[in-house]
Amino acid sequence: MTGDLDLEDRHALRRVAGLSTELQDVTEVEYRRLRLERVVLVGVWTTGTVLDAEISLMELKALAETAGSEVLEGLIQRRQRPDPATYIGSGKAQELRDIVEAEGADTVICDGELAPGQLRQLEEVVKVKVIDRTALILDIFAQHAKSREGKAQVELAQLSYLLPRLRGWGGNLSRQVGGRAAGGVGIGGRGPGETKIELDRRRIRERMAKLRRQLSGMSTSRDTKRSKRRSHGVPSVTIAGYTNAGKSSLLNRLTGAGVLVEDSLFATLDPTVRRARTPEGRMFTIADTVGFVRHLPHQLVEAFRSTLEEVADSDLILHVVDGSHPDPESQLAAVREVLADIDATGVPEIVVINKADAADPVTLAQLTARERHSVVVSARTGAGVAELMAIIERELPVLDHEVRMLVPYGRGDLISRAHEEGEVLSVEHTEDGTILHARVLADLNHELERVSKPVETV
């Protein structure tokens, strides 16, 4: 009930301890202040416990530091809902302005997505730049995007976010070409004309349309590669999970891919696909995907949809969760929410509880009890990886066709595919060809039946 809210909580901005990242070495202060933005974090606590609110703000702190900011202070306010005008209310906005002045901050970051009016009115009160959680995540993506496709996806998401928030300053809103303001332009210059902000919006829409066309072409290329793997019957496994849960470390451990591993949020954005083999020698592909986060901006989900479809089209999802996190259940819920958005809930899922070497044994026991289809591993030490590979082999599509064929010597490619995609039981070379005894998938079985002869008829 809303009436049960603690009056003291509603009337106070609660400081969250441990958020300041002021330097201990004073010799570096001058350089860091030139390089980093100095920020104050503020969040609105509407549901859940105070621990939930503090964990959310701690995550915002990690995001801000990943973006290159120096966090000076973190505040939360207990409210029934965010204030429609200033997010935290006019009185608390005044208090926030005093804190910003006292700390010497130049930016306020809000733990939520603010409406354009909320951003503008809060900026007018605190007198410094105000950004929300969505803008912060988009900024991190812009810093970390490396590939041509990744940069285009991030730019499209940023423009989608910017378009409804575009605003002019002073006379920019009323500047027009046409009518009396044209100043003697003459024929073609009469009429009300187009304001500066309308011109900017039109250019943004044109740029977004161009980016969508480019991304459509890139997704076609990815679809072609994916269909080629499918035609060869190569099973696909996708690693998904919360950002900084250790997905890239796990990919490196399983395949030796050499993907960037860094203790920061969204360190890798571009999907990486590598080959791997089960303990029995069966080949499969394994793909790393972009990390998820609570309240992942819908602009990013839409822009990265073609990339995320790699998850929906896979045969198995390795859902990696950080076992050492204070609230791993919320990470699982946030990732599954995004998986539902991209229609990937029907794909079999293995919950991989990572960072076992740093996790609390009680937390691990609770997670494994709740998530029946799970395995505990440490990508850093390699513990549990052998068990994970055995589970992957068991969960891959069944090799439901056992064949014993005489394959012509001219079709050695089929023998090679049987080694890569299936389970070869025996190979015998004769003067007429190679006798292959193997378990294979339907596609390869069809191809073998087309060009080979059953051994019994020879």
HEC readout, 161-221: HHHHHCCCCHHHHCCEECHHHHCCCCCCCCCCCEEHHHHHHHHHHHHHHHHHHHHHHHHHH
For 287-305, write each residue's pLDDT tens digit: 888 788 887 787 787 777 7
Nearest C-alpha neighbor of 15 from the set 37, 40, 32: 40
Q: Which residue has the higher pLDDT, 3 or 345?
A: 345
Note the pLDDT of residue 301: 79
Q: Which of 4-18, 75-89, 106-120 has the lowest average pLDDT?
A: 4-18
Q: How confident is the model at residue 96 (pLDDT cuts 50, 70, 90)?
A: very high
Residue 383 φ then ψ, to 5°? -65, 135
Integer CA distances (angstroms), 83 to 43, 46, 133, in order: 12, 11, 16
Residue 321 near residue 234 (C-beta atoms within 8 A): no
Note the pLDDT of residue 34: 38
User: Is the predicted pLDDT of residue 199 greater than 60, yes or no?
Assistant: yes
* pLDDT mean across residues, the chain: 79
Q: Which residue has the higher pLDDT, 409 or 14?
A: 409
Angle of helix 385-395 versus helix 247-255 axis, rounded to 10: 80
Classify each residue of 356-372 as buried b or exposed e, where b means 16 or more C-beta atoms within 10 Å of its C-beta: beebeeebbeebeeebe
Q: Which of 61-75, 252-266, 340-354 has the lowest average pLDDT?
A: 252-266
What type of residue sits at position 349? E
Note the pLDDT of residue 387: 92
For 143-173, write each residue's pLDDT tens digit: 887 778 888 888 998 898 888 887 654 444 4
For 237, the 3-state DSSP assignment is strand
Residues 43 and 76: their CA atoms lie apart, in Å, by 5
For 423-443, write each residue's pLDDT tens digit: 788 888 888 888 888 877 777
Domain locations along the chain: 2-140, 146-182+190-232, 233-395, 401-457
Which of the four CATH numbers 3.40.50.2000, 3.40.190.10, 3.30.413.10, 3.40.50.11060 does domain 2-140 have? 3.40.50.11060
Mean pLDDT score, 340-368: 88
Angle of helix 361-370 versus helix 328-341 axis, rounded to 10: 40
User: Is the predicted pLDDT of residue 223 greater than 60, yes or no?
Assistant: yes
The CATH architecture that domain 233-395 belongs to is 3-Layer(aba) Sandwich (3.40)
